[in-house]
C-alpha cells in the first residue's frame, strides 16, 4: 500500500522540478505554437510536462497519466496523475508573473492529492484528501466574507470567446454589478488556491479541463470551501464548469448564475 505522504512527496517534487524550469525561462524568448486562435503552447510547457512525467514514472511506472499536452497515457494501476505543466501559458509567454504548475492524483475516480506550485512567488499549495490544505506548511481556510457585496471574486474566459456565445461575458456583467470587485488573472489553478487561502472569496468559470481544476478543487474542499457545478450539483473534475466559494456566499453565486439575482 502506497502511503499518502509518499504520493504527496512525489507530486511536490515533480512540481518543484518543473517550477525551476519556469523560473529560468520566464523572462527568456520562447518558441510558441497554437492549438487555437488564442490557445497557445510553448516549448517550455512541453519540457515541463516531460520532466514532471519522468519524475513520476521513475517512482510509479505503472500509474497512468492525463496531461494537457501529451493527453492520456494508460497504466496498469488504479492511480492516474493529472498534470498541467504551466497553468497560465499566455501569462508565461508574455512574462506576466501569474503562472503555476498543477498536479493531482486520482485513485479510482477520486482525487486524493493536489499540488499547485507558483514558482515565481515560491508558494506551494497542497492537500491530501481528508488531511486539510496547506500553503508552505501553513494550514489554509477559506474566507469568512458573508455577502457578495463584500466579496472579491475571480473568473476566466474560454479560448473560444471570439466564436462562441457561451463566453462568460454575461456572467461577468452580472457579477461586476454585485461583487466588490472581480479579478481575471489567467490561471484557474491559482485562482482556486486563492479561494482556499481566503484571498478570493469565490470563483466561477466555464469550459475548463480536468488538469485546470483537479488539484485546486481538492485544495478548496480541504480548506473548508464549497465546490459544485453551476447548478449546485456535486462537483466532478470532468464537468467543464465550476463554482467554488466559501460556504457563506456559494449559494449566492449559484443564484446569480441562474439569473435569480435582482
Whole-angstrom Cα distance, residue 30 to residue 44? 7
68 is catalytic: yes
Q: Is 226 a catalytic residue?
A: no
Catalytic residue among 45, 118, 191, 212: 212
Q: What is the pLDDT of residue 1?
A: 62
Residues 123-181: tens digit of each pLDDT: 999 999 999 999 999 999 999 999 999 999 999 999 888 989 899 999 999 999 999 99
Instruction: Find the mean pLDDT for residues 99-105.
Output: 98
Task: For residue 260, name the pLDDT band (cuts at 50, 70, 90).
Answer: low
Of the candidates 65, 83, 86, 103, the residue annotated as catalytic is 86
Residue 22 designated active-site? no
CATH topology match: 4-139 vs 148-257: no
Cell 464548469 found at: 241
Fold annotation for 4-139: Fructose-1,6-Bisphosphatase; Chain A, domain 1 (3.30.540)
Interval 25-57: pLDDT, tens: 999 999 988 887 878 899 999 999 999 999 999
Distance CA 68, CA 26 (A): 20
Tell me which of 45, 49, 84, 106 is the catalytic residue.
84
CA-only gyration radius of the chain, Å: 17
Fold category of 148-257 in CATH: D-Maltodextrin-Binding Protein; domain 2 (3.40.190)
Indicate if 87 belongs to the active site.
Answer: yes
Report the alpha-carbon distance of residue 242 to residue 107 in Å, rounded: 21
pLDDT for residue 262 is more than 50: no
Q: Which of 42, 52, 56, 87 is catalytic?
A: 87
User: What is the spatial distance between Cα 11 and Cα 114, in angstroms, rounded to a whole number?
Assistant: 8
Residue 132, CB-side half-sphere exposure with 13 Å CA sphere: 8
Average pLDDT over residues 67-77: 93
Cell of 247: 460556504
Q: Which of 68, 106, 191, 201 is catalytic?
A: 68
Name which of 63, 82, 84 is nearest 2 in CA terms. 63
Domain spans, the chain: 4-139, 148-257
Amino acid at each position: 500500500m502506497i502511503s499518502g505522504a509518499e504520493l504527496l512527496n512525489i507530486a511536490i517534487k515533480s512540481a518543484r522540478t518543473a517550477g525551476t524550469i519556469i523560473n529560468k525561462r520566464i523572462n527568456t524568448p520562447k518558441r510558441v505554437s497554437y492549438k487555437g486562435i488564442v490557445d497557445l503552447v510553448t516549448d517550455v510547457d512541453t519540457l515541463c510536462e516531460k520532466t514532471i512525467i519522468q519524475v513520476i514514472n521513475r517512482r510509479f511506472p505503472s500509474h497512468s497519466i492525463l496531461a494537457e499536452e501529451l493527453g492520456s497515457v494508460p497504466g496498469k494501476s488504479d492511480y492516474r496523475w493529472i498534470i498541467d505543466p504551466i497553468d497560465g501559458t499566455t501569462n508565461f509567454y508574455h512574462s506576466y508573473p501569474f503562472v503555476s504548475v498543477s498536479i493531482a492524483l486520482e485513485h479510482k475516480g477520486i482525487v486524493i492529492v493536489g499540488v499547485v506550485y507558483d514558482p515565481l512567488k515560491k508558494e506551494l499549495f497542497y492537500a491530501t484528501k481528508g488531511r486539510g490544505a496547506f500553503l508552505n506548511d501553513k494550514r489554509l481556510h477559506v474566507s469568512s466574507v458573508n455577502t457578495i457585496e463584500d466579496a472579491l471574486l475571480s473568473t476566466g474566459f474560454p479560448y473560444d470567446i471570439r466564436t462562441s456565445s457561451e463566453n462568460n461575458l454575461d456572467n461577468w456583467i452580472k457579477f461586476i454589478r454585485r461583487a466588490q470587485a472581480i479579478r481575471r488573472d489567467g490561471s484557474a489553478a491559482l485562482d482556486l488556491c486563492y479561494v482556499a487561502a481566503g484571498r478570493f472569496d469565490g470563483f466561477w468559470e466555464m469550459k475548463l479541463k480536468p488538469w485546470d481544476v483537479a488539484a485546486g478543487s481538492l485544495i478548496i474542499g480541504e480548506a473548508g470551501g464549497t465546490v459544485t457545478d453551476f447548478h449546485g450539483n456535486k462537483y466532478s473534475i470532468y464537468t467543464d464548469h465550476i463554482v467554488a466559494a466559501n460556504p457563506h456566499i456559494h449559494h449566492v453565486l449559484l443564484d446569480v448564475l441562474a439569473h435569480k439575482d435582482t
